[in-house]
A and B are shown apart, each in its own frame.
Chain A
Amino acid sequence: MGPVLGVTLKGIEAVPIDIEVEITGGLFVIAVVGLPDTAVREARERVRAALRSNGIQLRGRIAMNLAPADLPKVGSLLDLPMAVGLAMESGAVRVGETALFLGELAMDGQLRTTKGAVPAALLARKMGIPLFLPPGNAGEVALVKGVKAFAPPDLGSLLAHLRGDARIPPVTETGFETEETSIEPDLADIKGQAAAKRALEIAAAGHHNLLLVGSPGSGKTLLARALRGILPPLSDEERLETLLVKSTLGIPAKPDRMRPYRVVHHTASAIALCGGGATLRPGEISLAHRGVLFLDEFPEFHRDLLEALRQPLEDGVITVSRASGSVTYPARVLLVCACNPCPCGYWGDPVEPCRCSSRVLEKYRNRLSGPILDRIDLHVSVPRLTPEELVCLEGRQGPSSDEIREKVSGARKIQQERWKAQGFSSNAEIPERLVRSGLGLSRKVRPFLAEAVRGLRLSGRGISRVLKVARTVADLRGDAEVSVEDVCEALAYRGGGIPVDRT
């Protein structure tokens, strides 16, 4: 392996690319071999210009091999290693220690921000070699602990560094951490909807997926957005996981610990949602990893699309398999779905009449049932308040997002302690056998449930959902035992709001 290494991305993983250069006499030409894509092939023009602006004139017949030869190389992130390889071969610099180079070159030698910096940093750390990268990527790489990274502003200063003329200071972790920014909207600013807010709190605390049902204008989207503000901040490890996915796509990292919030429109393709394509890029579900994935107008989503969501919701990862290979992306999301109660949106509204025929309603209801709905623990109706009701609520204010986030963080800690031995981190994840034995139900709960099951027509799966939610309610109170009141509250988030009882 030569001293100059580049990387190409295979999914979320960076693969080292050995840059080999040979210069012989003859007419000037640069040939690049080793399955370069168009961006890589065009790199020779950028590289030549950048080297020339740094006083290195290339001559002769130049052959470049990107090894391993059978792996397709993608993107402009190989510009910098190619330039360094050429500079070394033409005798302008010597690269003593093997190093990883990454970056796109401007014609004048400036380094442009590129994707793949975080995977490359992880690779450099694993191989124990230094990493050179554009200054625009320094922030995200600073969060990868234990990597020796340098961020030269341009090719010239990199070459000077390599020659030993002028040292570049290594990238340090300072400067890429801001104070928590407050998130809009704050729960305290949302009028009414106390039940839905409480459901958000429980969803955030126990990582329970959530369905909001309500007429247009009732505030479903606003509530979903507010959920992000009550989730505890990302831990270091979690932040790195989210950065890894973002970096793979070249999305700039933000210097905060906010959880991702991704909205998917129902016209999105399965590839956009789950990942894939020729380059096996990650989808929205991976971008929402450790955060919130919001599906608005849930029944409009294509059934195949929802079917594709099922496995990642269960496993927390998604494996994208295509002819060009198979990649596993992280995909642990808090799913929030929103839908209207009926196609026209006004079923059950106190003011507007519903204009849906029963056939249309039946169809809508059928679309709403299905595998994904079974994985949503909390169902909440979001009523559209009448003007009188709004007046009635004037001047009342609930707790702020900050207060609730405190409670949520507390409840999460309790859960992590409890399930550590089993390898789970939240109540929503726990499997059936633990629901039966490990929830710490009070003695009164079973007899109560036995009666409630008859009165409320609960299925077996429905019961375990209720119990998991009840466990979270108890955790929010900080109680080790699940009381009948907790189960009662959990029962309130079980269905309703969808026109199911109209025959």
Chain B
Amino acid sequence: MTGREEALLTFNAWEGFNARCLEEWAGRGLLPEEVLDAGRPCWEELGLPEKCRDTIERLRERQWGKREAERSSRLNVRLVFWGDDDYPADLADLDRPPAVLYAKGLWPLPSRMDGVVGTRKCSPYGARMAREIASYLAQSGVGVLSGGALGIDGAAHAGAIEAGGLTVAVLGTGVDLFYPAEHERLFHQIQENGLLLSEYPFSTPARTWRFPNRNRLIAALAGRVIVVEAPARSGAINTAKCAMVSGKDVWAVPGRVGEWVCEGSNRLLWDGAHPLVDLDDLACLPLPVQGELFPTKDLPSSPVLEALRAFGDQTVDILASQVKMGAAEILAELSRLEAYGLVRRSLSGRWSTAAGQKARAAGESKG
């Protein structure tokens, strides 16, 4: 651990610090370790506020930088510093790029990542879509980036992991914490299948202002941002705005008019975001060809599938009245289609067609 790195870790404990400060100091011919050693008069001259000066002094006495570095090696967390070769180039253009990144899991970052974000209080439909979008992206070899929160974020991470892809969670807390606590297991899975990323020192607790702050990182790291469900005022909208400002593609999943949970995401559509009409629309980028578990050419033709495609979510009763088959036959047929990935269990005893390539192909082959 060099003196520079220890100095960066110490300054990073003050939340007003970012890599732009380093550039400013460099303009005056000062290196960070020199600034740290120089003490209070120098700090005052550099315009550090009083509170910050107190904090830095205290941390310097306690050798914060060294201890933080020790903790990182103990917890198996990689520290990435401003100016390192592997510092993500996407972050360098930010107004306030982080000086230090804490990364727990599989470094480096996936070469290509899409952000999937949305509200914590999502509808079951939203959770399902987030999961499907994430699986779809993961299967196409794109990393799934999100914030590790409840609701859409969690569903997105889980979807990517299920599909065997990479996923990255940018956190508003220290990487050693599990926030929200419900996601402890998910976080463990994320670091095995990707990365937990944070600009905050270890054990930084969750505070409301830190989450909008980390959203700028999601927007910067993502190739594009897909908003699944978001109310009018929400972190996801904030992320989307950041992404739009930096000229990235923003997608939004259309939601029902009048439901508060998708008011913001629908408004994004009005503002010019791409509407996600079909999962395959996401494949505007060239996708690697995937091996198919069940080859599409052998797809069974099925009146049940056609009825589901025509009328949306159905109970077995309604299907029975439409296709004139017995409940037992219909259940058998639904299970068979489910095994082929063409049909899925919807909510409370209803069944629906699965979104995506295969289901559409199956529909067209009969159409």
Which residues of A are in contact with B by a Cβ distance under 8 Å?
Answer: 192-195, 197-198, 213-215, 218, 341, 347-350, 354, 357-359, 362, 380-385, 389, 392-393, 396, 448, 451-452, 454-456, 473, 484-486, 488-493, 496-497, 499, 501-503
Further 17 A-B residue pairs, CB within 8 A, beyond A384-B348, A491-B338 = A192-B317, A193-B317, A194-B327, A195-B330, A213-B349, A347-B124, A347-B347, A348-B124, A350-B313, A354-B124, A381-B349, A385-B317, A451-B293, A454-B293, A455-B294, A488-B331, A492-B332
Q: For residue B151, which residues in chain A have a CB less than 8 angstroms away from its CB?
A: 358
Is the pair B332, A194 in contact by a Cβ cutoff of 8 Å? no
Cα–Cα, bound, A486→B326 (Å): 14
Chain B residue with the shortest CB-CB distance to A194: B327
28 CB contacts below 8 A, A to B, read: A194-B316, A194-B320, A197-B327, A214-B349, A341-B347, A347-B124, A347-B347, A347-B348, A349-B347, A350-B347, A359-B182, A381-B348, A381-B349, A382-B348, A392-B318, A396-B321, A454-B293, A456-B338, A456-B339, A484-B336, A488-B331, A488-B332, A488-B336, A489-B335, A492-B331, A497-B345, A499-B124, A503-B157
Q: Which residue of A lies closest to B259 (CB)?
A: A353
Q: Count chain A CB atoms within 10 A of each CB in B124, B332, B348 and give the residue with the most.
A: B348
Distance in angstroms from A136 CB to nearest chain B CB is 46
CB distance from A460 to the nearest CB of B (A): 18
Given contacts A194-B327, A195-B327, A358-B120, contact A492 B321 (CB under 8 A): no
By a CB distance below 8 angstroms, the chain A residues around B347 are: 341, 347-350
Task: Give the contacting residue for B331; candidates A198, A452, A502; CB below 8 A.
Answer: A198
B20 CB to nearest chain A CB (Å): 36
Known: A358-B120, A452-B339, A501-B127. A192 touches B315 (CB 8 A): yes
Question: Does chain A have a CB within 8 A of B154?
Answer: yes
Decide if B202 is an interface residue (CB 8 Å cutoff). Answer: no
Complex CA gap A499/B340 in Å reads: 22
The 5 A-B pairs of least Cβ separation, nearest first, read A348-B347, A381-B349, A383-B349, A194-B327, A348-B348
Complex Cα–Cα for A502 and B122 (A): 9
Tell whether, in the assembled complex, residue A492 and residue B155 are in contact, meaning their CB atoms are under 8 Å apart.
Answer: no
Which A residues lie within 8 Å of B154 (CB)? 503
Residues of A within 8 A of B155 (CB): 502-503
Pair A502/B124 contact, Cβ less than 8 Å: yes
What's the nearest-Cβ distance from chain B to residue A193, in Å?
A: 7
Given known pairs A348-B348, A362-B182, A456-B338, the reply for A385 and B315 (CB within 8 Å) is yes
Q: Is the interface of B mostly helix, strand, loop or mixed?
A: helix
Given B336, B341, B348, which contacts A214 in the complex, CB threshold below 8 Å? B348
Which one of A198, A382, A383 has the highest number of Cβ atoms from chain B below 10 Å of its Cβ? A383
Q: In whole Å, how far is A345's beta carbon from the nearest beta carbon of chain B?
A: 10
**A215, B348: Cβ atoms under 8 Å?**
yes
- Check B150 for interface membership: any CB of A closer than 8 A: yes
The interface residues of chain B lying within 8 Å CB-to-CB of A358 are: 120-121, 150-151, 182
Known contacts A192-B317, A488-B333; A198/B328 CB under 8 A: yes
- Residues of chain B contacted by A383 (CB below 8 angstroms): 315, 317, 348-350
Q: Which among B127, B315, B328 is the interface contact of A503 at CB below 8 angstroms?
A: B127
Centre residue among B328, B335, B340, B341 by max chain A CB count within 10 A: B328
Cβ of B131 within 8 Å of any chain A Cβ, yes or no, is yes
**Residue B186 contacts which of A218, A381, A384, A503 (CB distance < 8 angstroms)?**
A503
Complex formed: what's the CA distance from A77 to B111 in Å?
85
User: Which single residue of chain A is at the shortest CB-CB distance from B335?
Assistant: A491
Chain B residues with Cβ under 8 A from A503's Cβ?
A: 127, 131, 150, 154-155, 157-158, 186
User: Is there an interface contact between B317 and A393, defined as CB atoms closer than 8 Å?
Assistant: yes
Whole-angstrom distance between the Cβ of A446 and the nearest chain B Cβ: 14
Q: Is the CB of A491 within 8 A of B339?
A: yes
> Which chain B residue has the least Cβ–Cβ distance from A453?
B339
Report the minimum CB–CB distance from A394 to chain B (whole Å). Answer: 10
Contacts of A192 in B (CB 8 A): 315, 317
Number of interface residues of B (CB under 8 A): 44
B166 at the interface (CB under 8 A from A): no
1/0 contact trace for B320-363 toward A, CB 8 Å? 11000011111111111011110001111110000000000000
B188 within 8 A of A: no
Q: How far is the CA of A497 from the CA of B124 in the complex (A)?
A: 12
Residues of B within 8 A of A (CB): 120-121, 124, 127-128, 131, 150-151, 154-155, 157-158, 182, 186, 293-294, 313, 315-318, 320-321, 326-336, 338-341, 345-350
Determine whether the beta carbon of A392 is less than 8 Å from that of B349. no
Nearest B residue (CB) for A357 = B121
Residues of chain A with a CB closer than 8 A to B326's CB: 194
Contacts of B131 in A (CB 8 A): 501, 503
Q: How far is the CA of A349 from the CA of B330 in the complex (A)?
A: 22
Given A348-B124, A383-B350, A451 contacting B339 (CB threshold 8 A): yes
Cα distance A473–B151 when bound, in Å?
A: 39
Contact: A489 with B332, CB < 8 Å?
Answer: yes
Indicate if the CB atoms of A392 and B321 lie closer than 8 Å: yes
Chain A residues whose C-beta falls within 8 Å of the C-beta of B320 in the assembled complex: 194, 396
Contact pick for B345, options A193, A218, A496, A502, CB 8 Å: A496
Which residue of chain A is the closest to B327 with respect to CB atoms?
A194
Residues of chain A within 8 A of B340, CB atoms compared: 455
Contacts of A381 in B (CB 8 A): 345, 348-350
Q: A197, A380, A381, A454 — which one has the most chain B CB atoms within 10 A of its CB?
A: A381
Please measure, in the bound complex, the distance between the C-alpha atom of A456 and the C-alpha atom of B158, giving whole angstroms.
Answer: 16
Most chain B C-beta atoms within 10 Å of own C-beta, residue among A341, A456, A501: A501
Whether the Cβ atoms of A489 and B328 lie closer than 8 Å is yes
**Which residues of chain A are near B327, meaning CB under 8 Å?**
194-195, 197-198
- By a CB distance below 8 angstroms, the chain A residues around B350 are 348, 350, 381, 383
In this complex, what residue of A is CB-closest to B348? A348
B349→A455 contact, CB < 8 A: no
Q: B315's contact among A357, A389, A488, by CB below 8 Å, is which?
A: A389
With A192-B317, A193-B317, A194-B316 known to touch, is A502 a contact of B348 (CB < 8 Å)? no
> Are A485 and B332 in touch, CB under 8 angstroms?
yes
Could you tell me the distance in whole angstroms from the C-beta of A347 to the nearest C-beta in chain B?
7
The distance from the CB of B327 to the nearest CB of chain A, in whole angstroms, is 4
Query: In the complex, A473→B339 CA distance in Å?
Result: 19
Find chain B residues with CB under 8 A from A197 CB.
Answer: 327
Give A380's nearest chain B residue, CB to CB: B349
Find chain B residues with CB under 8 A from A218 CB.
Answer: 348
**A485 cross-chain contacts in B, Cβ below 8 A:** 329, 332
Q: Contacts of B349 on A, CB cut-off 8 Å?
A: 195, 213-214, 380-383, 497
> What's the minimum C-beta distance from A346 to chain B, rounded to whole angstroms?
9
Rounded to whole angstroms, the CA-CA distance of A276 and B335 in the bound complex is 44
Q: How distant is A33 from chain B, measured CB to nearest CB, in Å? A: 65
Measured CA separation A181–B97 after assembly (Å): 80
